[in-house]
Structure 1
C-alpha cells in the first residue's frame, strides 16, 4: 500500500539504510540524492532550511541547533584565525559574548561600530576585516539598520554583510534582496513561534557560501534534530498570520504606553516619533513587528512591581511566542557587558523589553494599565 502524507513525517532516525555498495557510491557521487546519517542531513531539517530559504530568497540554507549556532556558522563561513570582524554595537548580548569569549580564542578579533557610524566604515576597516554583523531591528532598542545602504558600504570595502533578521522575519524584511550576503534567524523566536523549539537557520545569497555552511554544520555537529525541525516547520506555516497580529497588537501597546505617565520612553519603530519610522515602514512592508522596549523609572523596585502585577506579560527571558512576555536586558541578554557599554547602549535599570503576542489587544492593554497603576 502506497502512503502519500500531506505533512512530512518525522524521520526520527539517526541513520538510513543502503541496499548495496552502488547506493553508497550514489550517495557520495550525487550529493542530495539520498540520506545516510542525520548529522549530515535529515529530511525534516532539510525541509525547514528549504522553507526559510524560499522566504528569504536565498541560494541555500542550513538549519542549526540554535540561533547561536547559526551565528557561529556565519562567522566560520567567512573567517579564519588572524581575521578581523566588525559588529554593530547594538547587538544581541549572546552575539557579543560569542565574539569576545570564544572567537577571540580562535584568533578572530572584533571591533564594535556605533549605530550612527554604520554607513561609513572607513575608520574601522583593517586589512584583515572580513565582515560586518548587524541586526535588522536592534535588540533591545529597536533601532532600524538601513540594510541597502550598509550593504553598499560593506561591499565598497569588500566586506560581507551578515544580518540577524530574527526580530523582523522575512515577512517584514528580506535582507538578501537589499544586498546582504547572509541572513540568519533564531528559529526559536518568530519562525517556530510557539516557545517550544530551540533552533536556528542561516541563509546564503551565494550557492558556494551555502555549500560551505553545510560543510561547517556537518563538521561541527550543528545540525538540528528531526523533531525540532518538524515542530519549526509546523510553526512556520502560520508565520505571516502571526506577524501581522503581533504587529497590530504591538502598535496598539506602544501607542498606549507612549501616553502613560509612568513610562518615560517607548522604543518601537511603528510610532511616528521613532527616528527611523519612515525607513522601518519602507523596509518592513508597512509592518513593524511585535517587539518593543519601554523605559520606566530607574528603580529596580519599580520594575519588580510592574513585573509582579502583570498577568499577561510574564517575565520570561526570550521572545516572539504567541503568548506575550517581558524581559529585562540589563539582567539577561546584556548582563555581561561592562557598565560603560550598557550606558552607551541606553540599557539601564528601568529598561524593560516587551514581546507582544497575538492575544486580544484589549486584554493586553487592560493588563498593562493595572500593572502600571
Structure 2
C-alpha cells in the first residue's frame, strides 16, 4: 500500500540503509540525493533548515542543536585561529561569553563596538585579520534597532562579513538579506518554534559557498539538530506569522500601559514613538515592532522581587518568545557574564526587567500587570 503523509514523519533513526555499493557511490557522487547518517543530515532537520531558509530568502541553511551552536557555526564559517571579530556591544550575553571564554582559546579575539558606531565608519575598530561583525537586528535586552543596510555598507567597505542574529525580529518583521547581510542566525528555541518546548538554532547563508561551509562545520562538529526537535520546530513554524502579529499587538498595548505607571522610569520598545529608532524600526520592520520589551524600575532588588512575586501571568523564566508570557532579569541571567562596567555602560542595572509578551488575551495581561504594580506601589509606600 502506497502511503503519502501530509505531514513529514519523524525519522527517528541514527542511520539509513543502503541497498548495495551502487547506492553508496550515489550518496557520495550526488550530494543530497539520499541520507546515510543523521549527523550528516536527516529529513526532519533539513525540512526545518529549508523552511527558515525560504522565509529568509537565503540559498541554504543548517539546523543546529541550539541557538548557541548556530552562533558558533556562523563565526567558524569565516574565522580561523588568529582572526579577529567585531561584535556589537549590545549583544546577547551568551554570544559574548562564547567569544570571551571559548573562542579566545582558539586564538580568535574580539572587540566590542558601541551601538552608535555600528552603522558609521568601522575603520577605528578593524585590524588586519578582522573577518566579521556580529550584531542583532533588535538588541537584547534594550531593544535598540540596528540600521542593517548602513551597517552592511560599513562592513563591506572594510572587507568584513555581516552576521546578524535575527531572533528577536524573525523574518516576519525583518529579513536581513534584503539589507545585504551575509549570514542570518536564529535561536529557533524562541519565536521560530514558539512554544517553549524545543532547543534549536538555524544559520542561513546568502551565497552558496557559505552554505556549503556551514554544512561541513555542522557535520564535523556534530551540531546537527535531532529529528524530534526538528519536527516540533517545523510544527511551531507553521503558525509563526499569526503568532508574531499577536505578539506585536499585545506588546504595543503593554508598552503604552507601562508608560503610564509612576513606578516605571523608562520603557524600551521600538513601537513607541519616542523610541530613538522608531522610524527605522517602522520602515525596516514592516510596521511590526516585536513581542519583546524591557522597562526600568527603581534600582532596588526588593522592588524587583516584589513585582516578580506579584505578577501571575508573567512567570520569571529566563528565556523568551513562547506563546505564554514571561519575564526575565538580564542582570542576573542573560547578561550575567558581562563585567560590571559593561553592564553599566549598556544600562543593564538592578531595576531592568525584560518582558516576553505572549499571545494571551491582552486584557488579561494588562489586568495582571495593573495589580502587580499596585502591589509594588503599596510596598514602596509602606517601607
Superposition TM-score, scaled by structure 1 size: 1.00
Q: Look up the match of 1:95.
A: 95
Q: Could you report, residue by residue, the CA deviation over 1:295-318 in whole angstroms, capped at 9, with x for unpaired residues? A: 001000000000001000000000
1:100-139 correspondence to structure 2 within 5 Å: 100-119=100-119, 120-139=121-140
Residue 169 (str. 1) matches residue 170 (str. 2)? yes
Other-structure match for 1:3:
3
Partner of 2:341 in structure 1? Answer: 340
Q: Does 1:22 align with 2:22?
A: yes
Residue 12 (str. 1) matches residue 12 (str. 2): yes
In 2, Cα distance between the equivalents of 1:60 and 1:187? Answer: 16
For 1:342, what is the secondary structure of its paired residue? Answer: helix
RMSD: 0.4
SS, match of residue 123 in structure 1: helix
In structure 1, distance between residues paired with 2:218 and 2:178: 24
CA distance in 1, matches of 2:179, 2:6: 34
- Residue correspondence of structure 1 range 200-211 to structure 2 within 5 A: 200-211=201-212
| Partner Cα separation in structure 2 for residue 6 and residue 306 of structure 1 | 46
Q: CA deviation at 1:177?
A: 1.2
| Residue-by-residue CA offset, 1:81-109 (whole Å, 9 max, x unaligned) | 01000000000000000000000000000
* Distance (Å, rounded) in 2 between the aligned partners of 1:57 and 1:7: 23
1:309 aligns with 2:310: yes
CA distance in 2: counterparts of 1:341 and 1:147, whole angstroms: 24
TM-score, structure 2 as length reference: 0.97
Q: Secondary structure at the match of 2:123?
A: coil
For residues 11-58 of structure 1, give each alpha carbon's deviation from its aligned partner in whole angstroms, at most 9, with x where no partner exists: 000000000000000000000000000000000000000000000000
Distance 1:343 1:184 in 2: 27
Q: Distance in 2 between matches of 1:95 and 1:372?
A: 33
Cα displacement string for residues 182-239 of structure 1 (whole angstroms, at most 9, x for unaligned residues): 0010000000000000000000001010000000000000000000000000000000
Q: In the TM superposition, what is the alpha-carbon distance from 1:123 to its structure 2 partner?
A: 0.3
The match for 1:241 is 242
What count of residue pairs does the alignment treat as equivalent? 373
- Any idea what the Cα deviations from partners look like across 1:120-147, whole Å, max 9, x if unmatched? 2010011100000000000000000000
Q: Counterpart of 2:124 in 1: which secondary structure?
A: coil
Match of 1:149 in 2: 150
Alignment partners' CA distance in 2, 1:215 and 1:338: 35
Q: Aligned equivalents of 1:369 and 1:174: distance in 2?
A: 35
**Hey, what's the Cα distance between the residues in 1 that align with 2:13 and 2:337?**
39
Matches of 2:372 and 2:265, distance apart in 1: 15
For 1:338 and 1:46, locate their aligned partners in 2 and report how far apart those are by CA, in whole Å: 39
Alignment of 1:1-373 (within 5 A): 1-119=1-119, 120-373=121-374
| Distance (whole Å) between structure 1 residues aligned to residue 346 and residue 276 of structure 2 | 16
In the alignment, the residues of structure 2 paired with residue 348 and residue 368 of structure 1 have an alpha-carbon distance, to the nearest angstrom, of 21
Unaligned runs of 5+ in 1: none
- Tell me the alpha carbon deviations over residues 316-362 of structure 1, each in whole angstroms, 9 at most, x when there is no partner: 00000000000000000111111111000000000000000000001
d(CA) in 2 for partners of 1:103, 1:297? 37
* Distance (Å, rounded) in 1 between the aligned partners of 2:154 and 2:136: 16
